[in-house]
C-alpha cells in the first residue's frame, strides 16, 4: 500500500506534471479574477451584487455540465454485443412492461411492420394504450390482458392463439415474438409457445448500460435462435 502511495506522489510531483499544473492553475486564477472584476464593474460591487454574481455563476456552471453530459450521451456510439439482430418482420408480439424497450422493438421492424400484438397486465395497460396511439399507421388490436402474470401456461396459450389466427396468407415466418417485458414466467410462456409452434421466431431487446448502470435506453433487438431453428438452418445450409 505504501509503495502505491509513493508511486502516485512520485508521478504527480515531478516536473513533467507539476509545472503544467501550476501554469494552468495560475492562468485560471488570473482569468477568474479578470472576469470577476469585469462583472463587478458591470453589475456592481455591493454584497447583493456579489450574491447575484455567485448565483449566476452556479447557474452557468450547471448549464455547462448539463450541455456536456447531453453531448456525450448523444454522441456515444451504439454498443455492439456481438449478436445479430432479427430481420424485419411484418408481425410482432410484445410483452409490455416499460415503454422504451417496446418502442425500440417496434421501430426496429419499421417500415415492414404491419401488425403488432400487445400482451400486458392490468398495471401496464396504459402503456399498451399509449403505444397504440403513438403508432397509428400500424394495425394494433386491443391489448391482450393477462390475468395471472405468474402463470407461464396462460402466456403460452395467448401467444399460440395469436399464431393460430394470423392474417390471411401469413405464415409463422412473418411474425416474431419479443419476450423482454413483464415477468420471467411470461418470457418462459412465450418461449414454450415458440417451441411448440416449431419455426416461430424470438427476439430480446436488451437494456443499454454504461459503467455497469442502466441508462434507461434500449439497444437493438437480438435474435434468439432456439435449438430446433439452428438444426433447420444447418440442414438448409447443407442442402445448398
Instruction: Write the pLDDT tens digit of every residue in 161-217.
Output: 999 999 999 998 999 999 999 999 999 999 988 888 776 789 999 988 888 788 888
Beta-bridge partner residues of 94:
118, 178
Same domain for 135 and 64, yes or no, is: no
User: What's the pTM value of the predicted model, to 2 decimals?
Assistant: 0.61
Distance CA 129, CA 93 (A): 15
Q: Answer whether residue 83 is part of any domain.
A: no
Low-confidence ranges of the chain (pLDDT < 70): 1-22, 24-25, 27-28, 30-32, 34-36, 39-40, 44, 49-50, 53, 61, 63-82, 199, 227-240
Task: Identify the domain boundary among 43, 74, 105.
Answer: 74
Residue 195 falls inside a structural domain? yes
Boundary of a domain, candidates 27, 42, 74: 74
Domain contains 81: no
Domain count, the chain: 2
Are 53 and 7 found together in one domain? yes
Contact between 153 and 189 under an 8 Å Cβ cutoff? The reply is: yes
Three-state DSSP state, 168: coil
> The C-alpha cell of 6 is what?
509513493
**Distance in angstroms (rounded) separating the CA atoms of residues 115 and 80:** 28
Helices (H), the chain: 2-12, 15-43, 47-74, 99-109, 125-134, 152-164, 184-196, 227-239
Range of the domain at 224: 91-239
Q: What is the pLDDT of residue 215?
A: 83
Report the first-to-last Cα separation within the chain, whole angstroms. 63
Using CA atoms of 211, 223, 93, 189 in order, give the dihedral in degrees to the nearest 10. -90
Kindly report the CA angle at 90 between 107 and 184, in degrees rounded to 5? Answer: 65
**107-119 pLDDT tens trace:** 999 999 999 999 9
In this structure, is residue 79 part of a structural domain?
no
Nearest Cα to Cα of residue 190 among 168, 162, 166: 162
**Within a domain: residue 86?**
no
d(CA 10, CA 6): 6
Residues 133 and 184 in one domain: yes
C-alpha cell at 126: 396504459
pLDDT in the model for residue 22:
65
Q: Please indicate, yes or no, if residue 82 is contained in any of the structural domains.
A: no
Cβ–Cβ < 8 Å for 157, 91: no
> Quick one: pLDDT at residue 170?
93
Residue 231's pLDDT is 40
Answer with the one of 48, 74, 100 that is the final residue of a domain: 74
Amino acid at each position: 500500500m505504501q509503495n502505491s502511495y509513493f508511486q502516485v506522489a512520485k508521478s504527480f510531483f515531478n516536473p513533467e506534471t507539476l509545472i503544467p499544473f501550476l501554469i494552468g492553475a495560475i492562468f485560471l486564477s488570473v482569468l477568474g479574477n479578470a472576469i470577476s472584476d469585469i462583472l463587478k464593474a458591470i453589475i456592481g460591487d455591493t454584497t447583493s451584487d456579489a450574491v447575484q454574481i455567485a448565483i449566476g455563476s452556479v447557474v452557468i456552471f450547471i448549464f455547462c455540465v448539463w450541455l456536456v453530459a447531453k453531448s456525450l450521451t448523444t454522441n456515444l456510439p451504439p454498443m455492439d454485443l456481438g449478436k445479430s439482430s432479427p430481420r424485419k418482420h411484418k408481425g410482432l408480439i410484445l410483452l409490455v412492461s416499460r415503454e422504451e424497450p417496446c418502442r425500440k422493438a417496434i421501430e426496429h421492424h419499421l417500415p415492414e411492420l404491419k401488425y403488432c400484438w400487445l400482451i400486458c397486465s392490468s398495471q401496464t395497460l396504459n402503456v399498451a394504450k399509449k403505444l397504440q396511439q403513438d403508432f397509428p399507421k400500424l394495425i394494433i388490436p386491443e391489448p391482450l390482458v393477462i390475468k395471472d402474470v405468474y402463470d407461464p401456461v396462460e402466456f403460452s396459450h395467448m401467444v399460440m392463439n395469436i399464431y393460430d389466427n394470423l392474417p390471411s396468407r401469413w405464415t409463422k415466418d412473418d411474425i416474431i415474438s419479443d419476450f423482454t417485458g413483464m415477468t420471467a414466467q411470461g418470457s418462459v410462456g412465450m418461449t414454450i409457445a415458440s417451441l411448440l409452434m416449431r419455426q416461430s421466431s424470438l427476439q430480446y431487446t436488451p437494456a443499454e448500460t454504461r459503467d455497469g448502470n442502466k441508462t434507461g435506453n434500449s439497444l437493438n433487438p437480438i435474435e434468439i435462435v432456439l435449438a430446433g431453428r439452428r438444426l433447420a438452418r444447418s440442414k438448409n445450409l447443407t442442402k445448398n
